[in-house]
Amino acid sequence: MKKFGNVLWGIVLITIGIIIGLNAIGLTHINLFFRGWWTLFIIIPSFIELIKSENKIWSFIWLVIGVVLLLCAQGILSFSLIGKLIFPFILVMLGIHMIFRDAFHKKIGDKIKTLNKDKGNFEEYCATFGGQRVDLSGQEFKGANLDAVFGSVELDLSKAMIKQDQIINASAIFGGVEIRVPTGVNIKVKATPIFGGVDNKVKTEYNESLPTIYINGTAMFGGVEIK
């Protein structure tokens, strides 16, 4: 899916380049700086993320916001009216996301609840206005809570031992969490992105004979990355 995203960005750049070139030699007179052209910096990335991302709700919200701002800039809609409606719209979309997220990921959610019964025994890694890197090479991993608040936490499990299903509760608030997982495990993600993103770059076929790492990720104006 990442490659597909790169293809979409490539098409966008090629299209812009062709338009600029044709305008330069006088074959076309397409105005790239129309009223509201700046909204394309919201619309295009949101559209691409909507296609390639597993968690589409915020991509959809930003796409709608971009389109609405474009319509306002074109004089089709009123900025004052949209200003009054934008906040309730976000609340409604967030509510819909929470309802359907639980419906579609019920099995993962139930497993996370089960594993979190031993949450008090998990290792705690926290970074506030700083960074922390944890390398568990050669060690058995038994679950962790990761919290990054205006900071970053990197958990390297690439050479750790995973003997049974484990869970990682990752929270990024105006910060970032990076999780490097080993081969030979399944990865299941439950994401709660709030003006942030939870990006799972590990794409493997599910194998019942392998242990599973469940990642319960929350990103608020931040990001959680699994790779």
User: Over the stretch 150-189, which tens digit does the pLDDT of each residue have?
Assistant: 999 999 999 999 988 888 999 898 889 999 999 889 998 8
pLDDT of amino acid 184: 87
In the structure, what pLDDT confidence band is assigned to residue 97 with cuts at 50, 70 and 90?
A: low
Q: Which residues pair with 135 in a beta bridge?
A: 156
Domain containing residue 166:
106-226
Question: Does one domain contain both 51 and 136?
Answer: no
Question: For the segment 21-59, what is each residue's pLDDT rounded down to a tens digit?
Answer: 888 898 888 888 888 888 888 888 888 777 766 556 667
- Which of 104, 124, 158 delimits the end of a domain? 104
Give the mean model confidence (pLDDT) for residues 191-203.
Answer: 78
Question: For the segment 121-132, what is each residue's pLDDT rounded down to a tens digit?
Answer: 788 899 888 899
Question: Does one domain contain both 110 and 97?
Answer: no
Closest CA to 173 of 107, 128, 207: 128
Question: Does one domain contain both 57 and 142?
Answer: no
pLDDT of amino acid 156: 94
Question: Does one domain contain both 140 and 222?
Answer: yes
Closest CA to 55 of 98, 7, 107, 108: 98
Question: Does one domain contain both 124 and 222?
Answer: yes
Q: Decide if 167 contacts 214 (C-beta within 8 A).
A: yes
- Which of 78, 104, 130 delimits the end of a domain? 104
Question: Does one domain contain both 128 and 220?
Answer: yes
Question: Does one domain contain both 133 and 195?
Answer: yes
- Which of 52, 74, 104 delimits the end of a domain? 104
Question: Does one domain contain both 35 and 77?
Answer: yes
Q: Dihedral angle at the C-alpha atoms of 102, 103, 106, 109, nearest 10 degrees?
A: -10
Does pLDDT of 100 surpass 80?
Answer: no
